[in-house]
């Protein structure tokens, strides 16, 4: 449990929670390409192995919060806080039961992997409405109080998104995971084995060169 808490810390925790708040703020709004791109960039910035320093993460956090205030300006000054667009405290995930914790963390890790491939594709004019919409859905799901049965279809959908983007040319149903080695430090074998045996979904590590390409691009920009 301690290793799970240490998986993300400081500004990365705050940024992840702010991205969830931004995604939920867009729930009743038309999706904008600039916001979707910002969600992808924010997710990539939270990847531990991407190597962004604290200042880069803090700068991205400010961008995300400014964008949320632009989309839902009334929420920043509302005295009757409903919590619908509030930044989510990502530490809540680490206190869930093992199964829920695993699937929420998997969803969060998986959409980071999708972002690594979808962001450069968007820059080249290749977009998938299904993938773009999935970022909003998956981020919002993290904050909801759901059962394993509720989360499994989202995991299956995430495997579908990986097949659409499929830059790794991996066969079968799979989810590409950045920070794969870090994740396996604390995961028990039971959950990934169950996922593969019962739902035929494999977890595969993201090639380091793929992560480096997008990291270098974002740093240069």
Show me where the domains of the chain are located.
Answer: 2-220
pLDDT band at residue 3, thresholds of 50, 70 and 90?
very low
Average pLDDT for the chain:
84
Judge whether residue 204 has pLDDT over 70.
yes
Judge whether residue 19 has pLDDT over 90.
yes
Judge whether residue 4 has pLDDT over 80.
no
For the record, the structure tokens of 2 come out as: 């301690």
Q: b/e map of 157-193 (b: 16 or more CB within 10 Å)?
A: bbbebbeebeebeeeebbbbbbbbebbeebbeeebbe
Sign of the dihedral through C-alpha 32, 74, 27, 17: positive
Sign of the dihedral through C-alpha 22, 8, 181, 107: negative
Judge whether residue 73 has pLDDT over 90.
no
Predicted TM-score (pTM) above 0.85: yes
Judge whether residue 6 has pLDDT over 50.
no
Work out whether strand 202-205 and strand 174-177 pair parallel, antiparallel, or are unpaired.
parallel
Pick from 78-87, 121-130, 138-147 the range whose average pLDDT is largest.
138-147
pLDDT at res. 82? 57
């Amino acid at each position: 449990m301690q290793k799970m808490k240490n998986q993300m810390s400081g500004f990365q925790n705050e940024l992840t929670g702010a991205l969830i708040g931004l995604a939920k703020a867009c729930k009743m709004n038309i999706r904008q390409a600039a916001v979707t791109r910002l969600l992808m960039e924010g997710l990539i910035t939270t990847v531990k192995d991407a190597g962004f320093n604290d200042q880069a993460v803090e700068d991205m956090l400010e961008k995300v919060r400014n964008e949320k205030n632009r989309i839902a300006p009334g929420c920043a000054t509302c005295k009757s806080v409903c919590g619908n667009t509030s930044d989510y405290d990502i530490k809540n995930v680490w206190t869930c039961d093992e199964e829920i914790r695993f699937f929420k963390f998997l969803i969060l890790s998986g959409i980071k992997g999708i972002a690594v491939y979808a962001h450069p594709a968007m820059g080249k004019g290749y977009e998938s409405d299904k993938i773009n919409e999935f970022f909003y859905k998956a981020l919002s799901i993290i904050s909801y109080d759901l059962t394993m049965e509720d989360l499994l279809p989202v995991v299956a959908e995430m495997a579908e998104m990986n097949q659409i983007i499929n830059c790794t040319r991996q066969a079968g149903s799979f989810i590409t995971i950045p920070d794969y080695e870090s994740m396996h430090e604390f995961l028990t074998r039971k959950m990934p084995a169950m996922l593969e045996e019962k739902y035929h979904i494999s977890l595969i590590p993201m090639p380091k060169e793929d992560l480096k390409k997008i990291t270098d691009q974002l740093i240069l920009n």
